[in-house]
A and B are shown apart, each in its own frame.
Chain A
Amino acid sequence: MEPNPSAPITESQILTWLEVVKDPEIPVLSLIDLGVIRGVSIAETGQVTVTMTPTFSGCPAMDYMQRDVEQTLHAHGVADVVVRMSFDEPWSTNLMTEAGRLALKEFGLAPPPAYQQVLDLDILEYAQCPRCNGTNTTMRSPFGATLCRSMHYCNDCRQMFEQFKPL
């Protein structure tokens, strides 16, 4: 439902609009589910500030994500948009939503395992096959087709698969 044009926009309205913005490298995953949008604030002037935090600091998709957020809000008539990149709350895969994890799995990418506080080397090597759910898997390389993916082999169904790396 389109909002009443005379009513002031709300933060939750902005977040709803942003649900269509996807990670350009994983087009089933919205930026909200990815966890990179950390906050929205609306100034009295009507200026909308969206605070984002980068996934991997060298991720070339961050510029596109930032631009897509601006364009999406412009398309809804929000003229004054500022996207602020911030490290105040650094991104980790624990910020990914349940819906995001499911979307990844359906896409064929193993979702990152959730972890408690310290991410140790054992967790980095652990992955569950997104096809057969087997856990008898071996990490082939901590690096894959994009910075956020690692490569694994499933010893049960004997297929290579990729995982969204826990960070």
Chain B
Amino acid sequence: MSAANSDALKDLLYRLADDQLILGHRNSEWNGLGPILEEDIAFSSMAQDKLGHSLQLYLLLQGLGEAEPDTVAFTRNAPQFHCAQLVELPIGEYDFSLIRHFLFDTAELLRFELLSQSSYEPLAQVARKLKGELKYHVLHANTWIKQLGSSTEEAIDRLQGSLNFAMPYALGLFEKTGYEEALIAEGIFVGEDELKAGWIEKITVILAQTSLELPDLTTLTPVYGGRAGQHTEHLQPLLDEMAEVFRVDPTAEW
């Protein structure tokens, strides 16, 4: 692989891995707080899956010469993170976490289905693994969106409010970087536009089975910047908390 391709690949892997790590951490914040026991377990399980997914992606980065996964996960500060801003937002109320989970994981399942055809075989192998696990995340999200999105007036109002709030951030998942053309040209990834088109189709199908309305996407301004290290004020405190124990003694054996 040429040096230029290697840079493009690293850029992609950091975006993928950081999304998983940060949303995984946010999901773990529901541990002990879920509205019902099953949801407590569900968000905690998805947290565990997502940390596992980030680990596999950081291991690919290590194979390309980056530092080992714990160092990469626990020693960078917010400007070095490439996650979309959607994933770093606080968990808020359950309606927001559910909407974010629905919007994110629908995109994520499609993304890894597409990446399972990547010309970079190590990434394709990891993608084939992850997409099987992500089906359960999407199944979980769809079940609750369909049930709550057509239940009481309060549930529908809350979900609609969160959907309207989250949508510009969700569009930020598809922010392109300077490596977009290289990734497409090399067959590493089909690109954000194709992913976004598939994502809109999927969420439209589910929302049509509820009383929720998809906001008019043409009038929304996507929240970009996350892929370039520009983040909300919420990311750095999350990183400080996540790495607090690690930073006490980075050389400790666990």
Contacts and interface: CB of A to CB of B under 8 A. Distances in A.
Interface in B23-56: 38, 41-42, 44-46, 48-53, 55-56
Given A87-B126, A141-B38, A119 B132 contact: yes
A124 B139 contact: yes
Interface string A135-165: 0000011111101001100000000000001
B75 interface: no
A17 interface: no
A56 B52 contact: yes
19 contacts: A54-B129, A57-B53, A57-B126, A57-B130, A58-B50, A58-B52, A58-B55, A87-B129, A90-B125, A140-B38, A143-B38, A143-B42, A143-B44, A143-B136, A144-B41, A147-B45, A151-B38, A165-B136, A167-B132
Interface of B: 38, 41-42, 44-46, 48-53, 55-56, 122, 125-126, 128-130, 132-133, 135-136, 139-140
Interface in A53-112: 54, 56-60, 87-88, 90-92
A121 interface: yes
Contacts, number: 72
Given A56-B49, A147-B45, A142 B132 contact: no
Interface residues of A, number: 26
B219 to A, nearest CB: 32
A121 B132 CA distance: 11
B41 to A, nearest CB: 5
A142 B139 contact: yes
Contacts of B139: 121, 124-125, 142
A92 B52 CA distance: 17
A90 B129 contact: yes
Contacts of B50: 58
Nearest to A146: B45
